[in-house]
Structure 1
Amino acid sequence: MPSRAASAAAAAIAEKMKDRNLPLPSAFQIRFNTDDEDEWPQEATLLSAAYSGNIRRLKEIATRLDADGRGADSTLRRTNFEGMNALHAAVGGKGLLPMCRYLVEEVRMDVNKRDTTNGKNMTPLQHAVSGGNLPALRYLLDKGADLHVASHLKGQEGITALHTAVEKGRCEIAKHLLLRGAHVDGESCRSTPLHAAVTGGHDSTVKILLDHHANPNKEVNLVTPVDIALDTPSLPCLKLLILAGAEVNGVNNPLARAALEGLTEAIKCLLEAAANPNIPNMFGKLPIEIAAEYGTREDVEIMFPFTSPIPTVTDWNVDGIISHIKLERKQLEDGDFVEKKRSELRRQGDDAFKKQEYTNLSALYTQKYMTNLFGIKYAAICGMWLHWSLCWHRMGDGKRALQDALMCKKLRPIWAKAYYRQGAALMLLKNYAKACEVLSEGLELDPESDEIDKLYWEAMELKSTSTTVA
């Protein structure tokens, strides 16, 4: 077992390799502070030889390591350096086919064996993708490598070779994986391949995935590829997604997001695709109001012809909208005005709750928190999402209730109430298994919560009943 110091050093060198994209031999030079391979551990020199495709040197090192006399091939199969073996190094390095054939056909190394370097658990196929070695990848697939195998690394569960290929913009490898049957919409814990391609801003790989019928509206953690295209930002990716039928009026309001970021060309693109500028964002603000506050005058001018007049704006023109927004901001800096407004909204909210007017209640909650954006407390922001989730739940909209509960949980991950609201939303969506899991986590945070306990057992019963019926 490697020492704690050795493990720390391995982690450090892995980080350097990741950040600087260093070849394995160069990484070892930094790790061991010398370019003289004779001063490295023999296992490291063996990986360097495999990486470079030097079969003769590989055999020489394996023979020296053969302490029990079982032969060089047996030694090669059993030897690794901190979790990585010769096949991982070879296909992720120069990827020379003679070396690949020697290790697989003569040494009989497992083409699906994962490495254990820093817990990454990458297979030889995934190393070939990372190294951009298409010939080695083809060879591995011909020899039985599993292209559907996914990462087990925490926070990256479900990431396949296709995810890695498109994220790195490796077009030819992506095409080959798709032709060999890779799942175009395969979902990891954080993305589909399309999400990954857009994240990298690789419009060429985005086009390849869309040509293979990737779903441009697939949500992962309530995020769509369009949301990512605006976040990156990547106008070419956005255009490709829209051309493929991406929804431009999604729950995350792409037009409002583009206005917030001042993405003028994206605003034009979305409007041309029939994005509705009269849909408010989560704070009740229309895209044109957001543009007046955070964007440019040009953005306001672009959206003005498509936006319906706002009753509170006295002069309905570009200058009038900008002046109105400036006045609103000035009022929000007035403590007396804010307190008076907040008290009035609290009273209206109580009335709406009693009358079960949840649509009005949601709007009132929005206005209430908007009056306190200057100096609003972090906990209050979380409470805002929690209240919205409750309103959507009461209106029977499980999807939006779940979205807002997840936002609350993201902001305050140790707040048991966020888990309660997420569990309630999941039950509304009839996802009882996931609800049980979430509510169980909530109980760990607050074992004394009767409401979470009650909902947990209700979810358990419904889960059992649905399983029995199925």
Structure 2
Amino acid sequence: MDEHERELLPSLRMEGCGPLHSAAGSGNVAVCKYLVEQLGFDVDSDADNHGSGITPLACAAAHGQVITVRYFLDKGANPNKEKSSGRTTPLHEAAEAGHDEIARLLLSKGASVDASSSYGTPLVAAGVRGKFSVMKILLENHADPNKVSWQFGTPLTSTLYGAPERMSKSTCLKCVKLLVEAGADVNCTNPETPLAIATYKGLTRCVEYLLEVSKNANVLVNHDKSSDKHSKAQLKSQGAKAVEGKNYSSASKFYTEAIKLDPADAVLYSNRSLCRLKCGEAHDALLDANACINLRPEWHKGYYRKGAALMLLAEYKEAPDAFLAGLKQDPGNKEMQEAFWEAVEEMRKEPSEPSLHEVD
């Protein structure tokens, strides 16, 4: 080819797909290297020149081409570039196809484990097809087992919807157990309860399992007054386990039930404030922080939670005061000191109010 013909190569389409995408999907690394390193092809180029967002990396991930995926990532390909249709990412492609090694590789390079699409997160994409090993990898990387998608609901309900058409009943049970053990809500109603879905899908063993775990979950909430103290400890422990697994939504629910049993426990409000902060519920987190301070004004943790909530609300003029109040209770707290100076720095960036003589 002459120079002009080579310049036209990136726009060439064969059956709607460019040369680099074809090479990526077939795993031809030598051709990929030539096109990228010799002819200057863009590693994040679209397949059809119409802004579809289907990158060579996504093609390689969908077809299980591990070496090609690694090559594109090493060349700086964006692991989170979305398709314009459906907004799926390369991780969605790997999860849907069950390519666990590629999923690990993408996550190690910064792929968003909870990237949303019109179909749901990568965990939903894997769950609805019973890709157990990929689901396990995603959960190990702190995927949210309760994030709702508009089409399939939660990962748990999507997994049940997938059987028996896309997976065997035994695989479905295995995936359901994995999700429940990771903190999936067995009583969710998005769009129906897992038990209802399992029943009309004829998943007998899943029905039996869900009935058992639902019964155990209800024991924590439907308690006798004589065992309130014991139940509160159970709920608090369950909340702590959920926090450890970064399942802050479920943890918040456990702490809410515990607060119903003992509304004078400042620690519960502090813990729930943390969970609400992690879920982006800044106003509710602030309310819990204030409740904690009212119950235990001498405890520094309530002031720290209040300052963090104010920072999330961009109330930079008030946040330093909250952290300073906490430092008065615990002067040597380094975390509080760092948070205070960070809040002060943000406050300094805020535009100052005009003085009276500046107003016309």
Q: TM-score, normalised by structure 1?
A: 0.42
Supply the distance in 2 between the matched residues of 1:249 and 1:83 (Cα, whole angstroms): 45
Matched with 1:166 is 95
The one of the two structures with greater contact order (alpha-carbon pairs below 8 A, sep at least 6) is 2
Kept in 1, the 8 Å contact 2:43–2:72? The answer is yes
Matched with 1:227 is 157
Matched with 2:77 is 145
Relative to structure 1, the CA distance from residue 244 to residue 175 in structure 2 (aligned partners, 3 Å threshold; closer, same or farther) is same
Q: CA deviation at 1:228?
A: 1.3
Supply the distance in 1 between the matched residues of 2:9 and 2:205 (Cα, whole angstroms): 56
Supply the distance in 1 between the matched residues of 2:177 and 2:24 (Cα, whole angstroms): 36
Q: CA deviation at 1:261?
A: 2.6
Residues 159-187 of structure 1, C-alpha deviation per residue, up to 9 Å, x if partnerless?
Answer: 00001100000110001001111111111
Supply the distance in 2 between the matched residues of 1:81 and 1:97 (Cα, whole angstroms): 19
2:174 is the counterpart of 1:242: no
Matched with 1:15 is none
Matched with 2:17 is 84
Matched with 2:146 is 217
Supply the distance in 2 between the matched residues of 1:239 and 1:191 (Cα, whole angstroms): 20
Supply the distance in 2 between the matched residues of 1:78 and 1:191 (Cα, whole angstroms): 32
Question: SS of 1:236's equivalent?
Answer: helix
Q: CA deviation at 1:80?
A: 2.8
Q: How does 1:125-136 map to 2 (within 5 A)?
A: 125-136=57-68
Residues 296-327 of structure 1, C-alpha deviation per residue, up to 9 Å, x if partnerless?
Answer: xxxxxxxxxxxxxxxxxxxxxxxxxxxxxxxx
- The one-letter code sitting in structure 2 at the alignment partner of 1:244 is A
Q: CA deviation at 1:82?
A: 5.3
- The one-letter code sitting in structure 1 at the alignment partner of 2:183 is G
Supply the distance in 2 between the matched residues of 1:113 and 1:101 (Cα, whole angstroms): 15
Matched with 1:74 is 7
Residues 410-446 of structure 1, C-alpha deviation per residue, up to 9 Å, x if partnerless?
Answer: xxxxxxxxxxxxxxxxxxxxxxxxxxxxxxxxxxxxx
Kept in 2, the 8 Å contact 1:162–1:177? The answer is yes
Matched with 1:187 is 116
Supply the distance in 1 between the matched residues of 2:117 and 2:78 (Cα, whole angstroms): 17
Q: How does 1:374-393 map to 2 (within 5 A)?
A: none
Residues 217-240 of structure 1, C-alpha deviation per residue, up to 9 Å, x if partnerless?
Answer: 111127111111221121111111
How many equivalent pairs are there?
Answer: 207
2:240 is the counterpart of 1:263: no
Supply the distance in 2 between the matched residues of 1:187 and 1:114 (Cα, whole angstroms): 20
Residues 265-315 of structure 1, C-alpha deviation per residue, up to 9 Å, x if partnerless?
Answer: 00121123134899xxxxxxxxxxxxxxxxxxxxxxxxxxxxxxxxxxxxx
Gaps of 5+ in 1: 1-62, 64-68, 279-470
Supply the distance in 2 between the matched residues of 1:74 and 1:127 (Cα, whole angstroms): 23
Kept in 1, the 8 Å contact 2:113–2:143? The answer is yes
The match for 2:42 among 101, 110, 131 is: 110
Q: CA deviation at 1:74?
A: 2.5
Supply the distance in 2 between the matched residues of 1:263 and 1:189 (Cα, whole angstroms): 27
Question: SS of 1:274's equivalent?
Answer: helix
Q: CA deviation at 1:85?
A: 1.9
Relative to structure 1, the CA distance from residue 256 to residue 105 in structure 2 (aligned partners, 3 Å threshold; closer, same or farther) is same
Supply the distance in 2 between the matched residues of 1:194 and 1:119 (Cα, whole angstroms): 26
- The one-letter code sitting in structure 2 at the alignment partner of 1:141 is L
Residues 80-115 of structure 1, C-alpha deviation per residue, up to 9 Å, x if partnerless?
Answer: 33542211111111x232222111111111111101
- The one-letter code sitting in structure 2 at the alignment partner of 1:271 is L
Q: How does 1:40-51 map to 2 (within 5 A)?
A: none
Q: How does 1:334-413 map to 2 (within 5 A)?
A: none
Q: CA deviation at 1:118?
A: 9.2
Percent sequence identity over matched residues?
Answer: 41
Q: How does 1:5-24 map to 2 (within 5 A)?
A: none
Kept in 1, the 8 Å contact 2:36–2:43? The answer is yes
Relative to structure 1, the CA distance from residue 264 to residue 109 in structure 2 (aligned partners, 3 Å threshold; closer, same or farther) is same
> Pairwise CA RMSD of aligned residues?
2.3
Structure of higher CA gyration radius: 1
Relative to structure 1, the CA distance from residue 86 to residue 231 in structure 2 (aligned partners, 3 Å threshold; closer, same or farther) is same
